[in-house]
Amino acid sequence: MTATYRQPGVVLTDHHFTVPLDHDNPAGETIELYAREVVAGDKARQDLPWLVYLQGGPGFGANRFVGKPAWLGRALKEYRVLLLDQRGTGHSTPANRQTLPLRGGPAEQADYLTHFRADSIVRDCETIRPKLTGGAPWTVLGQSFGGFCAVNYLSAAPEGLSAAVITGGLPSLDAHADDVYRAAYPRIERKVAAHYARYPQDVERARRIADHLLNHEVVLPNGYRLTVEAFQSLGIVLGGGEGSHRLHFLLEHAFVRTPQGPALSDAFQEEVQGLLSYAGHPLYALVHEAIYGQDHRPTAWSAERVRSEFPQFDAAKALTGDGPVLFTGESIHPWMFDTDPALRPLRETAELLAARTDWKPLYDSARLAANEVPVAAAVYHDDMYVDTAHSLQTARTVRGLRTWVTDEFEHDGVRAGGPRVLDRLLALTRDEV
C-alpha cells in the first residue's frame, strides 16, 4: 500500500518492498523494507533524478524530517530523495529483543543477523532501484556507516550509481576491528582533553560522579544499571558539533541533596538513560563490530580488549590520583548486554556474533582502483568516529575520488552545516570546484 501526503514545502510518499533475507538465495525467506520518498512540493510532478540517503549507524532508521531541514533542502532542489530504513531498522522488519526470538534461539538469531551488514543493504538498494527509477542509476548520499555502504556499492554494483557522496564515512578497506579501536582511543582521549580545556570545572564533576558510581549501585528508572563504565560511555556525544556543550550541561546538574545525602538527580538520570539506552537501536550494539569483520578473524569484543591497552581510561585508577576521568566514545562492550535491559536478552546472540569467523569481504580494492563513478567525500579532521588516516588511505585507493578535508565540522557536519556540505560535495562530483 502506497500513501502520499504533504508537509510544509514537500510531498511524501511511503514505499514498501519485499526483498530476500539472503540475496544469494532469492527464492528463500523474505523481509520487508520501508522507504519514504520526499520531493519538493513545486516539483512533485517533474521527472527528477533520484538520490537515496543511507543513514549512519549501523542500526538506525532514516531521519524523520519535517519540511526541508539540514541537507535535505539542497537535495530537493534537483532530486527526488529516498530516505531508506535499512533492513532491521525503523519500519523495515525490525530486529530487536522483541522480534528476534521469532527466529529461534541465540544461534538462529546470530545467523539471521549476519545478513544485516553493508553488503546486504547495498543489494537491497539494487533490488528496489529499478522499481523506482525504471532502471536508471541514482546518486547515493552516505553518512557515517552509510558511507561504508556507499564504498561497498562502488565495489559491488557501481553500475547502479550516477554519483556517490560520502560524509564522515570512508572506511578502512582492510583494517581489523582491533586496528580501528587502536586508532580510536587516542582520538577519544584528545576529544576529552579538548572538552576539559573548554569546561575545566567538569573535571571535578566527572570525578565526583564516577566515585559515587563506584560506591553505590544506581539503577535508572528504565532498569539500566548505571556503572562507572556506562557513565564514561557518555563520551559518545563528544563526536558531534554540540556534544561538548551537551555533556557540560548534563554534568552540571548531576547531584541533588536528599535526606539520605547527595544523590544523582532525577533529571540527570532521565537524560542519561535516554543517551545510553539501546532500546531504539539495538542493532547498533549487535552488529557494530561486525561491520569490520571480513578477514576470517573474530571481532571478539575488540573495543573491550583494546581498551585494556589504554590504562588511562580506567576510572578507578584515575580516582586514586588527581587526574581526570576519561570518557569513552563509539564502542560496544560486553557489559552493555548486562547493564541495558533492552540488550540483556540478546547477550548470547552477541557473544556468537563476536566469535564468528566467516565474514565475507566487503570491499574490492581492484574494482575501486578502476572506479568510474564520480565520488566526493567530506573527511572531518580528527573525526572521533572514523579515523582520518584510514579515510585518506581509502580515498587514495578509489580512482577519481575527490576529498574535502575540513575541521569546520565534527562528524555531524552534513546535518550541522545545513545545505553547504552537500552543495560542495555535489560540486566536486561535477568538477565545478
At 151-188, the pLDDT tens digits run: 999 999 999 999 999 999 999 999 999 999 999 999 99
Contact status, residue 276 vs residue 335, Cβ threshold 8 Å: no
Cα angle 287, 288, 291 (rounded to 5 degrees) comes to 85
pLDDT of residue 195: 98
DSSP state of 287: H
**Grid coordinates representing 76?**
530537493
Who's near 133: CB < 8 A, 6+ residues apart?
Answer: 50
**Grid coordinates representing 37?**
520518498
Residue 418 pLDDT more than 90?
no
Average pLDDT, the chain: 97
At 278-329, the pLDDT tens digits run: 999 999 999 999 999 988 899 999 999 999 999 999 999 999 999 999 999 8
Mean pLDDT of 423-429: 98
Angle, helices 106-113 vs 347-355, to 10°: value is 60
CB atoms within 10 A of CB 279: 16
Class of domain 4-174+363-429: alpha beta
pLDDT of residue 295: 83
Alpha carbon 65 to chain centroid, angstroms? 18
pLDDT of residue 294: 87
Report residue 330's pLDDT band, with 50, 70 and 90 as the boundaries. confident
Catalytic residues: 144, 358, 411
At 53-80, the pLDDT tens digits run: 999 999 999 999 998 998 999 999 999 9
At 226-272, the pLDDT tens digits run: 999 999 999 999 999 999 999 999 999 999 999 999 999 999 999 99
Higher per-residue pLDDT: 433 or 204: 204
Give me the residue label for grid cell 582502483: 369
306 residue type, one letter: V
Residue 208 pLDDT more than 90?
yes
The partner residues of 167 in beta bridges, in order of sequence, read 143, 378
Query: How many residues are there in the chain?
Result: 433
d(CA 157, CA 141): 15
Residue 386 pLDDT more than 90?
yes
Residue 130 pLDDT more than 90?
yes
Give the SS3 label for residue 148.
helix
Give the SS3 label for residue 288.
coil
DSSP state of 50: E
pLDDT of residue 384: 96
Mean pLDDT of 39-47: 96
pLDDT of residue 329: 85
d(CA 2, CA 169): 32
**Grid coordinates representing 244?**
561538548
Mean pLDDT of 128-142: 98
Angle, helices 118-133 vs 145-156, to 10°: value is 70
d(CA 35, CA 84): 4
350-361 burial: b if 16+ Cβ within 10 Å, else e: bebbbebeebee
Share of the chain above pLDDT 70, in %: 100
DSSP state of 138: E
Report residue 1's pLDDT band, with 50, 70 and 90 as the boundaries. low
* Domain range list for the chain: 4-174+363-429, 177-355
